[in-house]
Structure 1
Amino acid sequence: MRTLTLLRILVILLGVGALIMLIPLALALILGEQRMIWALGLPAGIIIAAALPAFFSYRKNPLRFRARDGFLLVFLTWVGMSLLGAMPFYLSAREFSFTNAFFESACGFATTGATTITDVEALPKSLLLWRSISHWVGGMGIVLLTVALMPLLGVGGFQLIKAEVSGPEKERITPKITATAKVMWFTYCILTAVLVILFRIGGMEWLDAFCHSFTTMASGGISTKNSGLSWYNSAFIDHVTMVFMLLAGLNFNLYFRLARGKFKDIITNTEARVYLGIFLISAAAITFTLIPVYGSLSASWRFGAFHAASILSTTGAVIADYSVWPAFAQAILFALMFVGGCSSSTAGGIKVIRHVVLWKQTGNELRRILFPQGVFSIQLNKKVGRKDVVYGVSAFVFLYAAVVTIVALITAASGVDIFSSFSTALSVISNIGVGFGAIGPGHNFGAFPDQLKWLYSFAMIAGRLELWTVLILFTPEYWRR
């Protein structure tokens, strides 16, 4: 019964993804893209046909499951959505092997922004839209969307969101978890709509404006142009993108507090202050380093601040070849790959709050050496933090470093140089999509062997789900009754 229950919920969740696939299908019908009508319509139709009986049977017999089953269900949902999302690529009659198709889909839902595609502009417009929508849906979360749409998951809903949303602590901003999900998705939609309008004002066509807005707010970073946003050569578009990359990397719970007039909560939020501080310091340092390169402060800020925001928020958008910048500027960008955005945001990475916790705990340990009898605790948002948060953060950072090391070693064993291997491992697990060496500007993942693409695909999903959700499934204790 437990297995059947999980399968029914999984099919319903995939059905939500199939319904979303109808949006690019409508575009394919309008534009007469015959092959894409088949490529999008077939998988969507099959999944919807399977999901409808499961949904209507649920209405008669509500589904219940154990909280620990949420980890398995969320992981299976992301893998299943990646498989579903791969079908339009694979069936599009383009040069997509199944491996590359799954890789592109996993990149989308994990909001990594990596790709194997060399000529993006040759793709059908409906496929470009689906590629961007997969990022957007993955940014805020597939399960979170479903929880927002219907009270399907009952008491287990919060457990699923805990398994999907990023950060060491998950928070209800409203008494009901469905209302919390709706608030977060409503905020996400509003910010995306504003960005679409700004991109349109900046000169983008409507489709490009939607696609770039989807991927920017999802911290994905892919583009409908081969040269990315640099194709537009617009300072306005670059600065708008920079601002919204930073907004996407902020904790979305803060926007709810802002809407309710709780400005003090935002000002006193430790993670937000550190996040913006890291950006301003790194952007300023890169800017002054680039003045000899670009010859002016404004141009240096435009390119330096953009890439600082892009890497920090794990968006991975590129408007200049930073591999030819001075070593100090490159070193700052490389260091930002270890940071990430805020918790409960669309950004990936370790997350700023974890760095804050470890920094404060390091200070406490130094004080304890001087005052062995003293009692010290960390403070977050001017409140005393729990000790178990410190333990959890320490364990996560160790696990993160271990997984990055393992992926880097496997990559190096395939003949990739060590710097590129480490940069690639850090990029896929942090969901950045770009890096240095073999994945620097002007390169993509197409040259990597298929076995590494499968490894990276699951590493991206694990990184998007904060590692614990996936790795706990490989422990014997999880499967014991």
Structure 2
Amino acid sequence: MSVNIKNVIRMMGILLFVIGLCMIPSFLVAVIYQESRCTVSFSITLAICLCSGLIIMRTFPPSLIRIKARDGFLIVSMCWLVASLISAIPMCTSGAIPDYVNAFFETCSGYSTTGSSILTDVESLPKSMLFWRSFTHWLGGMGIIVFAAAILPSIGVEGMMIASAETPGPTLDKLTPKFADTAKNLYLIYIVFTIAETILLMIGGMSLYDALVQTFGTVGTGGFSNYGNSIAHFTSPYLQWVIIVFMTMCGTNFNLYFVLIRRGPKAMFRDPELRLYLGIMAVCTLFITIDLLAVGGYTNGFKSFTDSAFQVSSIMTTTGYATANYDIWPTFAKMLIFLVMLTGACSSSTGGGPKIIRILICLKLIRRGVALKIHPNRVYTVTLNGRAVSSEVATNITNYIFFYIFVVFAGSLVISFNGFDLLTTFSSVITCLGNVGPGFNLVGPTMNFSIYSHFSKIVLSFLMIAGRLELFTFFMLLSPHYWNSNKA
């Protein structure tokens, strides 16, 4: 095996140290609200993480051996799995979620920005635990490795190599010569969005605590709320539209914001992925609004439009917040919701799903196939942003789509042993793999995943991480070719 284990162990030490640092805000929330058990749980866990992380980093200094792609896949997969395992400890030891498997499911859902939950009474949890639960969205939204590279630029590993394995979308653009600078620039935009939304929500009447929790779920496109009825708890249209705007912005390719700053809005909106993303969102919102007014029982046009826009943006960006129970909407409206659940957000955004860029290229490949059937001798080149799409990129995208479909059906088959109906089972896997959050029927927007067995929760947890890491990063570790360098 040619994996550099020392680099992997060192990265685990860095991860432990970073998680320890990230628990400090939640620890302070526990102190402020005088939650003694949570204070003890956070203090012990973060102390262990910080100390063990420092010891590991001192014991395993940066290696002179360059990190290869093989190392990057293992490091990223291990980081996300270990982060979820460790972050579940304070939830479990504090008694907030006493069952460790349930706590693990919740943290996997948090870091992967899925938003699926096993909690039947969210509001009964301590405020510090709800804060930590939502803060995992904020950490997972941009990526754990990207976050580590942003705050620890001298971590001693090649950040670009391993971050490319966790970045959502077919490619990761390097915006500056040094990846640490790229990570800082991305997080600068991320932090600006976080601060801006928090302020706007507070202007609308939210407390600082509520505003932060909803903001973590919005900019991370995660969907955890501290209220059982999600954003429906806040009846103000102003608050709902603020969240709609920020969900849409965070489902956009973050690299385009650099294009906006450097070259202006015209250059940004020339991007074909962005145009398709906004086009699908607008068309689905319009049709659902009409359907709700015609046969869905809505009588207020603005309410219909707001609910439609909110649910379309929430599901398409894979945020998973809810202002209405779309599971009781007319069939046509539900089919459109299901459609955007399968498209996902843009590449290099905080959103999940297959990604609009892949859908766009697949549509172009279909059009190319039809054209060649009619004119076999025609030279037809698939282009994107004026550049030809290489056969390698096209093959990788089609491989991903077919693998995605395979995992959906395989996962559905595995959890079908629970005996729930077909739509519940199928949508559970789709929503976890696509990092969406709610599904349909027994796992709809007003339900949760507590109905599943421990085995199924573990399977769904792995699917959440696999979906967030673009499938291949996670599943290639199961291949004998990965562990046997002679087969590579």
**TM-score, normalised by the number of residues in structure 2:** 0.96
Structure 1 residue runs without a partner (length 5+): none
Task: Output the amino acid matched with 1:179.
Answer: D
How many angstroms does 1:358 deviate by? 0.4
Q: 2:315 maps to which residue?
A: 311
More displaced 10-residue stretch of structure 1: 403-412 or 371-380? 371-380
Contact 2:116 2:448 in 1 (8 A): yes
How many angstroms does 1:45 deviate by? 0.8
Task: Output the amino acid matched with 2:439.
Answer: G
Q: 2:148 maps to which residue?
A: 146
Provide Cα deviations, 1:336-383, integer angstroms capped at 9, x if missing partner: 111000000010000000000000011111111122122211111222
- Residue 478 to residue 95, structure 1, CA distance change in 2 (3 Å): closer
Contact 1:66 1:156 in 2 (8 A): no
3-state SS, counterpart of residue 445 of structure 1: coil
Quote the sequence identity (%). Answer: 37
- Supply the distance in 2 between the matched residues of 1:60 and 1:145 (Cα, whole angstroms): 19
Match of 1:388 among 389, 392, 401: 392
3-state SS, counterpart of residue 301 of structure 1: helix
More displaced 10-residue stretch of structure 1: 217-226 or 458-467? 217-226
Match of 1:113 among 115, 126, 137: 115
Alignment of 1:217-228 (within 5 A): 217-228=219-230
More displaced 10-residue stretch of structure 1: 3-12 or 354-363? 3-12
The answer as to 2:449 corresponding to 1:448 is no
Contact 1:200 1:206 in 2 (8 A): yes
Q: 1:7 maps to which residue?
A: 9
3-state SS, counterpart of residue 337 of structure 1: helix
Contact 1:183 1:256 in 2 (8 A): no
Contact 1:217 1:245 in 2 (8 A): yes
Task: Output the amino acid matched with 1:5.
Answer: N
How many angstroms does 1:67 deviate by? 2.8
- Supply the distance in 2 between the matched residues of 1:313 and 1:96 (Cα, whole angstroms): 31
Q: 2:362 maps to which residue?
A: 358
Task: Output the amino acid matched with 1:339.
Answer: T
Contact 2:4 2:71 in 1 (8 A): no
How many angstroms does 1:413 deviate by? 2.4
Q: 1:102 maps to which residue?
A: 104
Q: 1:417 maps to which residue?
A: 421
- Supply the distance in 1 between the matched residues of 2:422 and 2:180 (Cα, whole angstroms): 46
Match of 2:128 among 126, 129, 132: 126
Alignment of 1:78-227 (within 5 A): 78-152=80-154, 156-227=158-229
Q: 2:31 maps to which residue?
A: 29
Task: Output the amino acid matched with 2:354.
Answer: I
The answer as to 2:473 corresponding to 1:469 is yes
Provide Cα deviations, 1:189-217, integer angstroms capped at 9, x if missing partner: 10111000011011111001001001111
- Residue 387 to residue 61, structure 1, CA distance change in 2 (3 Å): closer
The answer as to 2:393 corresponding to 1:399 is no
Contact 2:85 2:104 in 1 (8 A): yes
Provide Cα deviations, 1:259-283, integer angstroms capped at 9, x if missing partner: 2234343121110000000000000
- Supply the distance in 1 between the matched residues of 2:263 and 2:111 (Cα, whole angstroms): 33
- Supply the distance in 1 between the matched residues of 2:59 and 2:213 (Cα, whole angstroms): 36
How many angstroms does 1:56 deviate by? 4.2
- Residue 387 to residue 153, structure 1, CA distance change in 2 (3 Å): farther
How many angstroms does 1:60 deviate by? 7.4
Contact 1:5 1:64 in 2 (8 A): no
Task: Output the amino acid matched with 1:136.
Answer: W
Aligned residue pairs: how many? 481
How many angstroms does 1:57 deviate by? 5.2
Task: Output the amino acid matched with 1:449.
Answer: S
- Supply the distance in 2 between the matched residues of 1:96 and 1:199 (Cα, whole angstroms): 32
The answer as to 2:316 corresponding to 1:328 is no
Q: 1:237 maps to which residue?
A: 239
- Supply the distance in 2 between the matched residues of 1:155 and 1:381 (Cα, whole angstroms): 33
Provide Cα deviations, 1:102-136, integer angstroms capped at 9, x if missing partner: 01111100111011111111111111110111111
3-state SS, counterpart of residue 448 of structure 1: coil
Task: Output the amino acid matched with 1:255.
Answer: Y
Provide Cα deviations, 1:213-236, integer angstroms capped at 9, x if missing partner: 011111111111111111121111
More displaced 10-residue stretch of structure 1: 73-82 or 322-331? 322-331
3-state SS, counterpart of residue 450 of structure 2: helix
Task: Output the amino acid matched with 1:341.
Answer: A
How many angstroms does 1:154 deviate by? 5.3
Q: 1:339 maps to which residue?
A: 343
- Supply the distance in 2 between the matched residues of 1:139 and 1:112 (Cα, whole angstroms): 10
3-state SS, counterpart of residue 44 of structure 1: helix
- Supply the distance in 2 between the matched residues of 1:167 and 1:247 (Cα, whole angstroms): 16
Structure 2 residue runs without a partner (length 5+): none
- Residue 60 to residue 366, structure 1, CA distance change in 2 (3 Å): closer
More displaced 10-residue stretch of structure 1: 378-387 or 450-459? 378-387
More displaced 10-residue stretch of structure 1: 285-294 or 183-192? 285-294
Match of 2:441 among 424, 437, 440: 437
Contact 2:438 2:445 in 1 (8 A): yes
Contact 2:96 2:126 in 1 (8 A): no
How many angstroms does 1:155 deviate by? 6.4
- Supply the distance in 2 between the matched residues of 1:62 and 1:86 (Cα, whole angstroms): 34
Provide Cα deviations, 1:231-263, integer angstroms capped at 9, x if missing partner: 121111111111111111000001112122343
- Supply the distance in 1 between the matched residues of 2:362 and 2:210 (Cα, whole angstroms): 41
- Supply the distance in 1 between the matched residues of 2:152 and 2:445 (Cα, whole angstroms): 42
- Supply the distance in 2 between the matched residues of 1:262 and 1:387 (Cα, whole angstroms): 32
More displaced 10-residue stretch of structure 1: 123-132 or 93-102? 93-102
More displaced 10-residue stretch of structure 1: 259-268 or 181-190? 259-268
- Supply the distance in 2 between the matched residues of 1:469 and 1:69 (Cα, whole angstroms): 11
3-state SS, counterpart of residue 447 of structure 1: coil
**TM-score, normalised by the number of residues in structure 1:** 0.97
- Supply the distance in 1 between the matched residues of 2:60 and 2:313 (Cα, whole angstroms): 44
